[in-house]
Structure 1
Amino acid sequence: MVLGQHIIREQAKISQGRPKNFGRGVDVYFSADIETDGPIPGPYSMLSFALVYAGAYDGTTFYKPNEYSDRFYVELQPISEEFEEDALRVNGLDRTALARRGLPPSEAMTAAAQWVREIAGVSEPVFVAYPLSFDWSWLYWYFVRFSQEKSPFGYSKCFDIKTAIALRLGRTIGDAGRQNLPAAFQSGLSHTHHALDDAIEQAEIFAKLFTEEPPLV
């Protein structure tokens, strides 16, 4: 599939680091990952999340970070008494401890929104996840519900790596999961279910969509 395999590579030049200025019309990407104690926000709680500056794109050039050092990570107090043991087994977080030492959601979400806007300046912050649907539903809900700044990503400024992988490689969505990534698109990091680790891993995969040629088969 010529379009899926070549459109990003042909349209984007690659530059290391950041643009000199984040001007209007530039997309500034933030790789996001969350850990929760259940499937949906409201009845259940988001226990931690991370946002990592993952690059910028001005329509011509993709700016790849030299390192993923611009990062925001926080652990939150639960907002309800409901939880699923299976979710806690995956992420290893302690709800009881977080009730004591976690940040109140209003403080965490306001600080996160301010941090995103500080990094992006007048440019457009774009939320990046793999897959997008789960992480976006939680963070958008928490931003709207708790942040004094509301959502820095509006209601729709987001990028789904899974869909991009499907288009780039000419695959179905069902065949575009992490477990099926070709070596050229894999991160060198492990998927640990720690939000910061996984947000950085995801940022590396995202950058490779712009910088790596897809395999021929």
Structure 2
Amino acid sequence: MAVRRSRPSLCISVDIGADGPIPGPYSMPGLGAAVAGVQDAEGFTAADPEARTFSREPLPISDDFVPEALAVNGLDRERLRTEGLDPALALGRFAHWVREVSEGAQPVMCGYPASYDWTFLYWYLIRSTGESPFGHSGRLDMETLYATKAGVPLRTVAKRSMPTELLPRRRHTHHALDDAVEQAELFAHLMAWQGPVSPR
């Protein structure tokens, strides 16, 4: 009986800029993505995170926002009211980009942390396009990946506690595309990392 080989996973780092804690009442006016690499039966092959990227700024979907959230990501809601892209168009283009770059592979959304970004991304995809190119659960959390490899409790994970060789060289700017690229670099480091060296 022939063994059916599974398709490789195309790991896509995604970062969103939001103006509140949950989608619906609040908006996702920033979306950035970068291809981090491919995982198959042979292992993980990192990609140049700046080679294949996506970035859009969707129009806000409500008048509600949390000022502190906007202060973090620096998004200008007044500018986006006139310059932002219709969410259906923005997410439709994103879904098309994901399918294009992942041809022959299964796309997996990677985030740090994935839970927050995935919540907004999946909600927007379903609301705007009716489906998700990642399916309903195609996401990987980098915090969980590190906690598992490092053998530490999940809630203790923070970038400042990680070994320096894992940290990206790029700055964390809170701009969605910049941060997606930075996170793609972190993801590649995490996938290659064997875990902490045990003392002899």
Q: Fold match, TM over 0.5? A: yes
- Letter of the 1:84 counterpart: V
- State yes or no: 1:177 paired with 2:176: no
In the alignment, which residue of structure 1 is the partner of 2:167?
186
Q: Which residue identity lines up with residue 151 of structure 1 in the other structure?
A: S
Q: Is the 8 Å Cα contact of residues 36 and 48 (structure 2) preserved in structure 1?
A: no
Q: Is the 8 A contact 2:13 2:34 kept in 1?
A: yes
The alignment status of 1:59 with 2:38, answered yes or no, reads no
Task: For residue 44 of structure 1, give the secondary structure of its aligned residue in structure 2.
Answer: coil
Letter in 1 for 2:25: P
Q: What is the aligned partner in structure 2 of residue 9 from structure 1? A: none
| CA distance in structure 2 between the partners assigned to 1:116 and 1:42 by the alignment | 23
Tell me the equivalent position of 1:146: 128
Question: What SS does the corresponding residue of 1:128 show, helix, strand or coil?
Answer: strand
The 8 Å contact of residues 36 and 49 in structure 2, kept in 1 or not, is answered as no
Q: Structure 1 residue 67: deviation in Å? A: 4.7
Choose the corresponding residue for 1:79, options 61, 64, 68: 61
Mean CA deviation greater in 178-187 or 159-168: 178-187
**Please, what is the CA RMSD of the aligned residues?**
1.4
Residue identity opposite 1:99 in structure 2: R
Partners of 1:60 and 1:88 lie apart in 2 by 42
* 1:139 partner amino acid: L
Mapped to 1, the partners of 2:67 and 2:49 lie a distance apart of 35
Q: Answer yes or no: is 1:196 the counterpart of 2:177.
A: yes
Shift of residue 68 of structure 1?
2.4
In the alignment, is the contact (CA less than 8 A) between 2:149 and 2:194 conserved in 1? Answer: no
Give the CA deviation at 1:69: 1.5
Alignment partner of 1:110 is 2:110: no
1:94 paired to 2:43 = no
Residue by residue over 1:16-43, the C-alpha shift from the partner in whole angstroms, topping out at 9 and shown as x without a partner, is xxxxxxx961100100001111000000
Relative distance call for 1:24 and 1:68 in structure 2 (3 A) is: farther
Residue 44 of structure 1 aligns with which residue? 26
Distance in 1 between residues matched to 2:93 and 2:101, nearest whole Å: 12
Structure 1 stretches of at least 4 aligned residues deviating more than 4 Å after TM superposition: none
Whole-Å separation in 2 of the counterparts to 1:125 and 1:110: 16
**1:46 partner SS:** coil
Alignment check: 8 A CA contact 1:184 1:212 kept: no
- Structure 1 unaligned segments of length 5 or more: list them: 1-22
Q: Measure the CA separation in 2 of the matches of 1:86 and 1:55.
A: 33
Listed as ranges, the gaps of 5+ residues in structure 2 are: none
Contact 1:56–1:62 at 8 Å: present in 2 too? yes
How far 1:213 moved relative to its partner? 3.9
1: CA distance, partners of 2:10 / 2:191: 14
The 8 Å contact of residues 36 and 44 in structure 1, kept in 2 or not, is answered as: yes
Task: Give the drift of 1:196.
Answer: 0.8
Note if contact 2:8-2:39 (Cα within 8 Å) is conserved in structure 1. Answer: yes
Give the aligned partner of residue 158 of structure 1.
Answer: 139
